[in-house]
Amino acid sequence: MSLKLMMPDLFKTIAFRLTLWYAGIFSVSSCVAFALFYFLATQTLQEQTDRDLLEKARYFSTVIQRNGIMGASKLAVIEAQAAGEKRIFFRLLYPNGEVFASSHMSYWKDISVDLDAINTLSHTKGHVFTTWLIRPNDQKARVLYSFVAQNVILQTGIAMDFQSKFISAFKTVFIAAMGFIIIFSAVSGLFLSRKALSGVKAITRTANSISAANLEKRVPVTGNQDELDLLAHTVNRMLDRIEALIQSIREMSDNIAHDLKSPLTRIRGFAEIALINMDNIDNYRGMAANTIEESDRLLDMINTMLVISKAEAGEGEFFYKSVNLTAMVQEAWDLFVPVAEDKCIDFTHEVPAHVQIEADAKMLQRAFANLLDNALKYTREKGRVHVDLRSETDGFVYIRVADTGPGIDSACFEKIFERFYRAESSRTSTGTGLGLSFARTVARQHKGDLIVTSQLGKGSVFTMKLPYRNVQII
Ligand code: ADP
């Protein structure tokens, strides 16, 4: 495996992307919180300033009522001096904007009389606020226009220095805090994503360390029942299946090698005998006949394997036509009568007249013959084998082969249908271990099944179930 595959590009890793997301979301949320705080704070400060200005206007109004215009003019100078002439100013205006009294205005010379504001004020008869920028130090000033007596307008402005100080302090805090937040969120994001993905690393490590030779390794499961645990379970289940598959492939290839070896060794033996006795023509005849027989057995085995493999891969070549099942069972039974007689087996059958289905006759014959062959092969002398054919109302036709043979351990009910499986006790009798696998494949290819019921020491019943769908009973 290349190093590039094992060490992914840092920028493409999920950990890096998660860190980026984490830092991004954290920083954006912090920015939003800061912006909200900034907006509320400046708003509150401005409202406080506006309230102060309105308070001044009310004071001027009272003074005019008591001491007249002159009193207000003096108040403008005194008030400005008391608060600081760079902090506050007062102008008293006629409604046409003409200034008739003011505090010391050298600092505030940039702020003229805003005729638009006066115009608006004349219409609303309330008060109007404006905001100005005082050069050269770009300080903001809040200015109020308000009627303090009939035909007397007070223009008063206040430096928003507190707000400016707040903004500059806020900027410093904001930059420092954001720097800290970005670094903190990136570090904690990296830590969290690494912690969250540590399980993935363990899975990757295990997957990398697994080879055909050590398939027994498994991903560690933490028991947290989280997504990574689920993934680990899934990977482990997959590894179990792969291991079982490789094991069965291994067993199958061992069996194939073994089953091919014996007939080939026999063929070689026949040829050797013929070579040693070159003069005897009968040896040649014997060798040819035996070679043909062994070759037929080999071909039969290979063909059976091919039929099973193709059917399992969904590529089975089955040719369906109308088959008289009654006749087929009867003929097969007839064929096996001599074998049964040889072993003194009570071989009986019971078939209704003319059961006809759509099937591949050749395949079905071979499958059924395998069942009969097994029943007669594994049943001891003087035993019983019974065959019957029934069509049921559940939509299936049942061909049953029941014997009084040795029976099969229930733990092996599935195993006997595996390719090349032969029970230990059956090794002494002839066979390839393909008969039942073939018969079940054929039944399933017909959308039916092959089922076994058995009791050790009492006997077995193999039932081939074929669908009733395309069945005709005449
Ligand atoms: P083979 O008969 O060539 O060994 P099969 O695939 O036909 O292969 O059967 C697989 C195994 O199932 C047999 O080896 C035998 O152990 C068991 N078996 C099959 N039929 C019977 C039966 N009628 N009674 C007892 N055991 C059986």
What is the predicted pLDDT for the residue at 469?
58
Amino acid (1-letter code) at residue 43 = Q
Residue with the smallest CA separation from ligand 1 atom 16 is: 423
Query: Last residue of a domain, which of 152, 167, 182?
Result: 167
pLDDT per residue rounded down to tens, the chain (474 residues): 444 444 557 777 788 888 888 889 988 999 999 999 999 998 998 899 999 999 999 999 999 999 998 999 999 999 999 989 889 999 999 999 999 999 999 888 888 999 999 999 988 878 999 998 887 677 889 999 999 998 899 999 998 887 778 888 988 999 999 999 889 988 988 888 888 787 787 788 877 887 666 778 888 787 877 888 888 888 889 889 888 888 878 877 887 888 788 888 988 888 888 888 777 777 778 888 888 988 988 898 888 888 888 888 888 788 999 999 999 999 999 999 999 999 999 999 999 988 889 999 999 999 999 999 999 999 999 999 999 999 888 889 999 999 999 999 999 999 999 988 888 777 777 778 899 999 999 999 999 999 999 999 999 999 999 997 544 444
- Residues 244 and 162 reside in one and the same domain: no
Is-contact 122 108, C-beta < 8 A?
A: no
CA triple 332-334-335, angle to 5 deg: 65
Amino acid (1-letter code) at residue 382 = K
Amino acid (1-letter code) at residue 231 = L
Residue with the smallest CA separation from ligand 1 atom 2 is: 431
Distance between CA atoms of residues 348 and 386, nearest Å: 5
Positive or negative: CA dihedral 65, 68, 69, 75: negative
CATH number, domain with residue 108: 3.30.450.20
Q: How far is the CA of 463 from the centre of ligand 1 (A)?
A: 14
Q: How far is the CA of 374 from the centre of ligand 1 (A)?
A: 6
Please give the DSSP secondary-structure letter assigned to residue 380.
P
Query: Pairing relation of β-strands 384-391 and 346-350?
Result: parallel
Is-contact 246 277, C-beta < 8 A?
A: no
Structural domain range at position 458: 321-473
Is-contact 92 73, C-beta < 8 A?
A: yes
89 Cβ below 6 A of ligand 1: no
Q: Is 210 helix (H, G, I), strand (E, B) or coil?
A: coil
Q: Buried (b) or exposed (e) across 135-153, using 16+ Cβ within 10 A?
A: eeeebbbbbbbbbbbeebb
What is the predicted pLDDT for the residue at 64?
92
Q: How far is the CA of 348 from the centre of ligand 1 (A)?
A: 20
378 Cβ below 6 A of ligand 1: yes
* Residue 209 maps to a domain: no
The answer for residues whose C-beta is within 8 angstroms of residue 376's C-beta and 6 or more apart is 336, 339, 340, 343, 345, 347, 385, 403
Q: Can you read off the two tokens belonging to residue 99?
A: 């200034």
Q: How far is the CA of 416 from the centre of ligand 1 (A)?
A: 6
- Per the DSSP assignment, residues forming a β-bridge with 403 are 385
CATH number, domain with residue 343: 3.30.565.10
* Residue 298 maps to a domain: yes
CATH number, domain with residue 272: 1.10.287.130
Q: Can you read off the two tokens belonging to residue 345?
A: 């087996």
406 Cβ below 6 A of ligand 1: yes
- Residues 292 and 231 reside in one and the same domain: yes
What is the predicted pLDDT for the residue at 472?
43
Query: Last residue of a domain, which of 118, 149, 167?
Result: 167
* Residue 98 maps to a domain: yes
List the one residue out of 221, 223, 219 whose CA is nearest residue 206.
Answer: 219
Residue with the smallest CA separation from ligand 1 atom 19 is: 374
Q: How far is the CA of 433 from the centre of ligand 1 (A)?
A: 7
What is the predicted pLDDT for the residue at 414?
92
Q: How far is the CA of 422 from the centre of ligand 1 (A)?
A: 6
* Residue 39 maps to a domain: yes
- Residues 328 and 453 reside in one and the same domain: yes
Distance between CA atoms of residues 371 and 373, nearest Å: 5
- Residues 410 and 446 reside in one and the same domain: yes
441 Cβ below 6 A of ligand 1: no
* Residue 177 maps to a domain: no
- Residues 332 and 295 reside in one and the same domain: no
Domains of the chain: total: 3
Is-contact 456 409, C-beta < 8 A?
A: yes
- Residues 284 and 326 reside in one and the same domain: no
Q: Can you read off the two tokens belonging to residue 368?
A: 């059924």
* Residue 194 maps to a domain: no
- Residues 465 and 326 reside in one and the same domain: yes
423 Cβ below 6 A of ligand 1: yes
Ligand 1 atom closest to the CA of 417, numbered from 1: 6
Is-contact 463 400, C-beta < 8 A?
A: yes
* Residue 241 maps to a domain: yes
Ligand 1 atom closest to the CA of 437, numbered from 1: 6
The answer for residues whose C-beta is within 8 angstroms of residue 462's C-beta and 6 or more apart is 371, 374, 375, 400, 401, 402, 436, 439, 450, 451, 452
370 Cβ below 6 A of ligand 1: yes
Distance between CA atoms of residues 463 and 315, nearest Å: 25
Ligand 1 atom closest to the CA of 432, numbered from 1: 3
Q: Is 263 helix (H, G, I), strand (E, B) or coil?
A: helix
Is-contact 211 183, C-beta < 8 A?
A: no
Query: Last residue of a domain, which of 259, 285, 312?
Result: 312
Residue with the smallest CA separation from ligand 1 atom 13 is: 422
- Residues 147 and 95 reside in one and the same domain: yes
Q: Is 187 helix (H, G, I), strand (E, B) or coil?
A: helix
- Residues 250 and 141 reside in one and the same domain: no
- Residues 304 and 232 reside in one and the same domain: yes
- Residues 461 and 350 reside in one and the same domain: yes
* Residue 7 maps to a domain: no
Burial class (CB in 10 A: 0-12, 13-18, 19+), 459: buried
Scanning the structure block, which residue is given the tokens 């020491």? 457
- Residues 307 and 336 reside in one and the same domain: no
Ligand 1 atom closest to the CA of 431, numbered from 1: 3
371 Cβ below 6 A of ligand 1: no
**Which strand (E) or helix (H) includes residue 238?**
helix 227-276
Q: Is 399 helix (H, G, I), strand (E, B) or coil?
A: strand
Mutation to probe ligand 1, out of 262, 305, 436 (largest number of atoms < 8 A from CB): 436
